[in-house]
A and B are shown apart, each in its own frame.
Chain A
């Protein structure tokens, strides 16, 4: 199963190269370092908030996982820099990914 079909089911996986073990992000069918095949590591994963802001009282933040992958996510409570978070909700809506962390 590929990254997007997992994401559609609300599961956030981390794509990793079978050959060189490099994390492949954004998700792709091949490793961008050695063009090896990619497998999906299943979570949950702990991430770290790198930066944040808000719009109309809704907080959004930039989160890093495994020192490599970064995403923009919603967060309900006021975020803190360096805060450890995990993905509570994710999916694909109108072709766009969405993520929420707690």
Chain B
């Protein structure tokens, strides 16, 4: 299979702006082409749009607004991991030879319909994500004797890191006490434990090996892809203190890239809620089961930005369809040593973890210089 690389990106600040989805989409795509004038739009042969927005025909609309007449154009929706799903689709188009260059743009509005999965009636009247997150949190705390204060460090760390990210929704720092004293949403979840919906957009352009080498001196290669969907309904999860789909997706991705979790220098983790970060770190083998909060605490106290350098979903905000693409852009910037004050020491291998609906579906990507 031929190599597939990321050769450019564009991203908007994540805000609470009330803006039409079409114009949100266009913002990051325009920035991408402005910053990469070597890319000829006539050579873009697929345009994929990642969003949960209900507007129709968004990929042809984005194509028209950016002056592209692609061979392939369509939307990709898979709730919160729509972004990485669209990257995997773009990869497949390029690897199969159906396309040489693909624009992938993710966008969402703060009022996205993707926040609640109406179909999942096994959740009864408890359909809002805070309820599955409360069950995960309670179960994780019980299983591994973890305190609310230990979990609060995830939020403290990620807000601190988001402060160095000019595109993040939050630019405040918080203490463990601030998190503990923030509004109690349920017995097990506080406001500052949660990522927040917002408006934002992120675009990348992917290309075949030949095209990538022609167009940039520093392509970032996607060397590993793993995806797994175990169910759609939250209550079908086999465990509420580990993430089965994440575990399987990461094994596939690491195997494809011939790496193991020890080789990963920097990673973006889908911390939709505080508890998700230690759970995901454990499920992907970054640390032993039940030791995720120790790892988070160690990283925080040594000011090591290795996990969620851009501030995670908690600090950056979570515009669903844009999130997986924004995570990928962060790893690209890190591997290109272009991440400013968030820069991790000389990373060679990065990982993106993006998931949907209580970890019923996960995508893991491995990226290399």
Contact = CB atoms under 8 A, between A and B. Distances in A.
Interface of A: 25-26, 50-55, 60, 62, 69-74, 81, 93, 95-99
Interface stretch (B133-141, B191-199, B338-346): B133-141
B118 A95 contact: yes
Nearest to A64: B235
B138 A72 contact: no
Interface string B184-206: 01111100000000000000000
A49 to B, nearest CB: 11
Nearest to B241: A51
16 contacts: A26-B121, A26-B122, A51-B142, A54-B187, A55-B134, A55-B185, A55-B187, A60-B131, A62-B135, A62-B235, A62-B240, A69-B122, A72-B122, A96-B124, A96-B125, A97-B124
Among A55, A69, A98, A99, max chain B CB count under 10 A is at A55
A17 to B, nearest CB: 17
Nearest to B189: A53
Contacts of B138: 51-53
A50 B187 CA distance: 17
Interface string B119-134: 0111111110001001
B134 to A, nearest CB: 4
Contacts of B125: 72, 74, 93, 96-98
A99 to B, nearest CB: 5
B236 interface: yes
B191 to A, nearest CB: 13
Chain B interface size, as a band, is: 20 to 34
Given A26-B233, A52-B138, A60-B131, A72 B124 contact: yes
Nearest to A81: B142
A9 to B, nearest CB: 16
B187 A96 contact: no
Contacts of A54: 186-187
Nearest to A97: B121
B135 A53 contact: yes
Contacts of B188: 53
Contact of B187 (A53, A62, A81, A93): A53
Contacts of B120: 26
A81 B264 CA distance: 38
B87 to A, nearest CB: 29
A5 to B, nearest CB: 14
Contacts of A71: 122-124, 235
B143 to A, nearest CB: 10
Contacts of A69: 122
Given A51-B240, A93-B125, A96-B124, A72 B187 contact: no
Contacts of B142: 51, 81
Contacts of A74: 124-125
Contacts of A50: 240
Contacts of A73: 124
Q: What 9 A-B pairs are tightest by C-beta distance, nearest first?
A: A70-B235, A53-B134, A97-B121, A72-B126, A54-B187, A72-B124, A98-B125, A55-B186, A72-B123
